A and B are shown apart, each in its own frame.
Chain A
Amino acid sequence: MHVHEEKTGLYGLMAEFDQAQPLVDAAVAVMGAGYSKVEAYSPFPIEELNDIIHRKRTILPKLVLGAGLTGMASGFALQYGTSVLAYPLNVGGRPLATWTAWVVPSYELTILFAALTAAVGMIALNGLPQPYHPVFNVERFDRASSDKFFLVVEAADPRFQKDETTRLLEGLGAKGVYDVAE
């Protein structure tokens, strides 16, 4: 509806829950209502939450595969360049392009590229490092690391309408619904 919504200074709405199960139920209901920009916060990991609110699969595996293949190709290219093009030495009568012996360094480079991409890519795709996040503008949010459970619906969500979304969250048994300033 609000295609050109003006900046309201509102990041989203935060609902507070006392326990894990109401948070999971609320997440299911909010996703069921068609929202997509939703995030949950809890003092301990709740495994099923991830499947509920993060429906889009990460592209990280594809990046890692691509990086691994690049590493392998670089390994072979590096050894071809040095052993065949730059320094063609006769070692024990073997052919210059002894690719079987190149497998080991190429394998190492495959792992190096793939592992670095996995580690750095995971951090980058998580949006880290992130020195500022609006959720901390809510004072109650401190409790997310001790004993409270929070569900945040972003204002950027196409379905987001402040009054309607507030009513939805309150109807799901939230102990409080707070505006999150941007």
Chain B
Amino acid sequence: MVKPDSNYKLFIDGQWVDGKEGKTFKAANPANGETLATCVDAGKEDVDLAVSAAWKAFETWKHVSPQERSRMLLKIADLIDANAERLAMIETLDNGKPIRETLGIDVPLSSDHFRYFAAAVRTEEGQAVMIDQDTLSLILHEPIGVVGQIIPWNFPLLMGAWKMAPALAAGDTVVIKPSSTTSLSLLELAKLMNQVLPPGVVNVITGRGSAAGNHILEHPGFRKLGFTGSTEVGYTIADAAAKKLIPATLELGGKSANIFFPDAPWEKAVEGVLVGILFNQGQVCCAGSRVFVHADIYDKFLAECVAMFNQVKVGLPWEKDTQMGAIVNGDQLQKILAYVEVGMKEGAKVACGGKRITAGGLDKGFFMQPTILAGVDNRMRVAQEEIFGPVATFIKFRTEAEVVAMANDSEYGLGGAVWTKDINRAMRVANAVETGRMWVNNYNNLPAHAPFGGYKKSGIGRETHKMILEHLTQKKNIFISLSEAKIGLY
């Protein structure tokens, strides 16, 4: 079986280097507790070196033609595909997600992301406008500089692709930090990128958010920050960006509404509940965690979902028939179990699951039963707060207006779906729900080429689409007088 390296260093200026403070942390397999590797717990001096390397590289990278940048991104995509099995298995071992997901989703979506931006950058054009007969205005897109990026533990490889591919396409250089919970796949990706990119264009800093993460936020050398994570940390990122007067794009938390009408395509809809909340063990920012079901079908739909949840194979994530793997660590499992307790105290009923799994050789890992809390009121904490686990909250509704009001009664607005065969109703509901992504008769599809990002406290900016290039470039206006004549004012 594929194994990660036993030690990973920092990737700075095209070199693998030790941390200046000599601190390290262990990466552990959440499915069995085994240590996978030792990584560097970076400090301030390491961040300084990475930012300096990125600026040095920017001086040449910004002049590399779009054609050449595109070619390099395509080469990175090819290398990802050529190393798909290794990347997928390392992600599975480090994160706990099933190999069928890492091999079938995380890795191919990552390579496709590089291909999408390789293509997108070739279509980027400035503008030329004749302001009047004698005046030409040119608008040019220029790279913004060194970008600081911090990504979460739930999709480390894919979020790395989401962040780095557009930045490199735009001509920026990058200092990126994965979560200390799951650092390995990004470090593996850095090895591949090192075969293609000039030194310093991408720099990977590992370590704790409270150390390396905060040093990135405090560092004066960034021209933009990009972050995916919780809303609370999002405030901290926005604060740091404001103090430096630089832009930040933020993809934050969610509590998304997955809405089912009586005319939903039934079998696909039932599966849509599982796809919405069990994919990646429910550790997805846009998870369909609030399941709104029309009163006319509520009891039957709930019963069928319970039956399906009970059939899900929870198991060791590297086994091919495992449908749900391990929760990312013990802290997250404690949190999920505590939320189940909160729901019960609030009056919700556990329709299925609700407990940790230790039987069947899973006692050394952090496994959770697929869980449905039924009879939930939308104002309960379990319907308002992000549980970030395989816990669906079922809420009954009677009218379209009522369900739209409940869907919008949330501080978040990241994902959501409506399931119906009535196209008029689908469009009405999709338009009315305040969210950045509304699926119709599907869920959790996240390909490149469709913008993703949040309304309200779910974030600022959009990714997975060429519109992110707007955030990663600055606009130079060259204003040209074509006339030989004086203005005549003096």
Partners in one complex: no
List residues of chain A with CB under 8 Å of any chain B CB. Answer: none
List residues of chain B with CB under 8 Å of any chain A CB. Answer: none
